[in-house]
Amino acid sequence: MSTTSLDTTAEGFIGRIGSRFKGRSGLNFALITVVNVAVFVIVWELVATYSGIPKLFLPKISAIASDIPQMNAEGILLLNLWFSVKNFFIGLAVGVVIGLPLAYAIGSIKFLDRVLSPYLWALYSIPRIILLPLVLLWVGINNNARLAIVAISVLPSLAVVVMDGVKTTDATMLRAARIFGASRWQQFLHVIVPSTIPFIGTGLRMGMLRGLIGLYIGELFITQNGIGSIIAYASVRFRTARVFAVLLLFVLFAVSNLAVTRAIETRLTRWRAPSGL
Amino acid sequence: MTEQMERHTEKSADSFGDQRLQESSLGGVNGKDHALIQVHGLTVEYERALGKNEHIVALKNFSLDVREGEFVTVLGPSGCGKSTLLNVISGLVFPKEGDVRVDGKPVTGPSPKWAMVFQDYGLMPWRTVEKNVRFGLEMQKKLDEEAEERVRHYIRMVGLEGFEDAYPRELSGGMRQRVGLARALAIEPEILLMDEPFAAVDLITRELMQDEISRIIAKTGKTVIFVTHSVDEAIILGDRLVVVSARPGRAKCAIEIDLPKPRSEHSLRSSPEYVSLRDRVWSELSAEVQLGRGG
Ligand SMILES: Nc1ncnc2c1ncn2[C@@H]1O[C@H](COP(=O)(O)OP(=O)(O)OP(=O)(O)O)[C@@H](O)[C@H]1O
Ligand SMILES: [Mg+2]
């Protein structure tokens, strides 16, 4: 059929442009990142070495980096890192396990939306630093407080995004599902869930960012263990390089979390048009 | 050579028409003297999102009977309630007054007896062509060997073999609409409800799709209600054409179209019968469009 062959060439053409575009920009992006980081590191090192700023305020980046194996040798790194990371992931899991069903329920049931979403938005907009004393009061000054602060950071950020995603589910798609005999459960499973996956990705990334801030706040206040204990110990002894080293690890952890979420999301939503096309 | 071929097709078209006549009279003998779809006195109201107790009356006392195997095209001004009509017939929307019966039984919800083709496709973007076509069978839990064969059959019928693994975003508008059509055909419904299915495709694709629809419907013998904005499309595809009045919509007039099939816009354009039919439909329709604007 003539249309088919016409469409084929058009499709192939777009496909070719698409892959070339993607390939080149991917390379550019990697190059930019490498150069960017290298310039940052070199400038830092030069400024710290020659500017005369005391190393108490600005340690050399080489000193910061070499403090990481040093901490490991002292046997304080892995144990405390594990404490914090564990708390983060448990808190994240709690936030997701409560937040996600809540988001779907609020998004699809008008009554629940009316009743519950004000609380969700309130929780979303209160700065965690204000909630922290309350959390410490309720949970106690221990690991669970950290975990709780991460959970209440993740939960509303994820939920508000996903609940809006559920509300904007394409009406024609839902109509189609109903016409072809989908039960309410099937509509949920085959239309609402897949169409909210991009929203889950965004919500999760926002939730993680806020959760990481929550974790950090928790680390500053709870210092018996976790990386918070390293920071507390090091800052009292003016070991600025160590404080920076912990911060560096923290940033790396945050960035790799976001990258992993992004990668999973991209894999799950390959049906979407690549952005920019 | 071409003349001979044309005469040949005309002949076969005539004999097809005869068959139709016989069939409908046979229907009477079998005791099926009622229409397959009976739409009776429908009044449908929507609540306004803003403003309490305000209603939009989409359809008012709308009645229409559709015979088995009939292809009814529906024309009317924008907003007169055509989509609403299809939604009520398919059991998605319930009328304030009146009822819809299929095969004599009142419609209480969606059923595998009918399927819909949407203007904006309503495909799932995360499903490949094959999985989209399979959607209805999957929802109705009828996915056996035979169903899989049927899925392949209808993908072939709409000319999409080779695109089974493509996602909707990789297809042109016309191809997407063919996926929507195959999805509807795959559940083998008796009734096909089509809501401006070709409104979003270009003119040439549109004509090709019209040919295809005629061919497929002739082959499968389905009953069709086809909503369109195009007077030409309504005449070319329909056995009967219904003009809906400005909102609140009711069936203003129904016109039997007995031009020989298969029809094509190209060959009909010069036929005097077609031209006079077209004029008549135009004047009926434009009166309503102006009414709708004025009101
Ligand atoms: N879900 C809804 N809620 C409120 N009003 C609606 C809804 N659906 C349709 N309407 C109103 O009902 C009337 C008929 O709508 P409908 O979609 O049936 O018209 P239509 O004939 O299909 O129009 P078009 O040709 O533009 O598609 C319109 O005035 C519209 O505003
Ligand atoms: Mg419509």
Residue A264 lies in a domain: yes
- CA–CA distance, B226 with B267 (Å, rounded to integer): 22
Residues A71 and A151 in one domain: yes
Q: Is B180 or B218 the better-scoring residue by pLDDT?
A: B180
Ligand 1 pocket test: which of B82, B85, B229 has the largest number of ligand atoms within 8 Å of its C-beta?
A: B82
With a cut of 90, say whether residue B89 has pLDDT above it: yes
Give the one of A3, A8, A172 whose C-beta lies nearest to B174's C-beta: A3
- pLDDT attached to residue B187: 93
Task: Name the band, by pLDDT with cuts 50, 70 and 90, for residue B34.
Answer: low
- pLDDT attached to residue B266: 76
With a cut of 80, say whether residue A238 has pLDDT above it: yes
Average pLDDT over residues B38-61: 84
**Where are the extended beta strands (E) located within chain B?**
37-47, 55-66, 71-75, 97-102, 105-106, 114-117, 191-195, 223-227, 240-244, 251-256
Residue A222 lies in a domain: yes
* Cβ <8 Å between A180 and B115: yes
Tell me whether the omega of the peptide bond preceding residue B262 falls within 30 degrees of 0, making it cis: yes
Give the one of A10, A180, A269 whose C-beta lies nearest to B139's C-beta: A180
Range(s) of the domain holding residue A78: 61-271
Helix (H) or strand (E) holding A194: helix A193-221
Residues A207 and A127 in one domain: yes
Residue A262 lies in a domain: yes
Q: Where are the alpha helices (DSSP H) in B96-191?
A: 129-139, 145-157, 173-186
* Cβ <8 Å between B126 and A175: no
What is the tens place of the pLDDT at every residue in B145-172? 999 999 999 999 888 999 999 999 999 8
Give the one of B124, B139, B208 whose C-beta lies nearest to A3's C-beta: B208
| Domain of residue A134, CATH code | 1.10.3720.10
State whether residue A272 is helix, strand or coil.
coil
Please provide the average confidence, as pLDDT, over all residues in chain A: 85
How far is residue A227 from each of residues A88, A146, A240, A249, measured CA to CA in Å? 12, 12, 14, 10
What are the beta bridge partners of residue B251? B244
Residue A68 lies in a domain: yes
Could you count the other beta carbons within 10 Å of the beta carbon of residue B221? 10
Distance B59 CA to ligand 1 centre (A): 10
CB B74 within 8 A of CB B262: no
Residue A276 lies in a domain: no
Residues A117 and A85 in one domain: yes
- pLDDT attached to residue B117: 95
Q: Is A181 on the interface with B (CB under 8 A)?
A: yes
- DSSP state, residue B170: G
Residue A277 lies in a domain: no
Residues A110 and A3 in one domain: no
Confidence (pTM):
0.80
- CA–CA distance, A218 with A91 (Å, rounded to integer): 12
Residue A125 lies in a domain: yes
Residues A43 and A69 in one domain: no
- Taking contacts as CB-CB distances below 8 angstroms, the residues of chain B near A11 are 166, 170-172
Residue A132 lies in a domain: yes
β-pair type (B191-195, B114-117):
parallel
Q: Is A4 on the interface with B (CB under 8 A)?
A: yes
State whether residue A51 is helix, strand or coil.
coil
What is the tens place of the pLDDT at every residue in B95-112? 999 999 999 899 999 999
Round to the nearest angstrom and report the end-to-end CA distance of chain A: 28
Query: Which residues line the pocket of ligand 1, CB cutoff 6 A?
Result: B 46, 56, 58, 76, 78-84, 247
With a cut of 60, say whether residue A104 has pLDDT above it: yes
- CA–CA distance, A88 with A82 (Å, rounded to integer): 10
Residues A39 and A172 in one domain: no
CB B65 within 8 A of CB B35: yes
Which residue, judged by its Cα, is nearest atom 23 of ligand 1?
A: B79
Residue B31 backbone zone (phi > 0: left; psi -120 to 50: alpha; other: beta): left
Question: Count of domains in chain A?
Answer: 2
Residues A145 and A77 in one domain: yes
Residues A31 and A156 in one domain: no
Helix (H) or strand (E) holding A161: helix A143-167
- CA–CA distance, B143 with B154 (Å, rounded to integer): 15
Residues A39 and A160 in one domain: no
Task: Name the band, by pLDDT with cuts 50, 70 and 90, for residue A274.
Answer: low
Closest to B73 measured CA to CA, from B192, B227, B221: B227
Residues A130 and A36 in one domain: no
Residues A84 and A124 in one domain: yes
Contact partners, residue B242, CB within 8 Å, separation at least 6 = B64, B72, B73, B74, B75, B251, B253, B254, B255
Residues A13 and A93 in one domain: no
What is the tens place of the pLDDT at every residue in B134-148? 999 999 988 889 999
CB B191 within 8 A of CB B114: yes
Task: Give A272→chain B minimum CA distance, Å.
Answer: 7
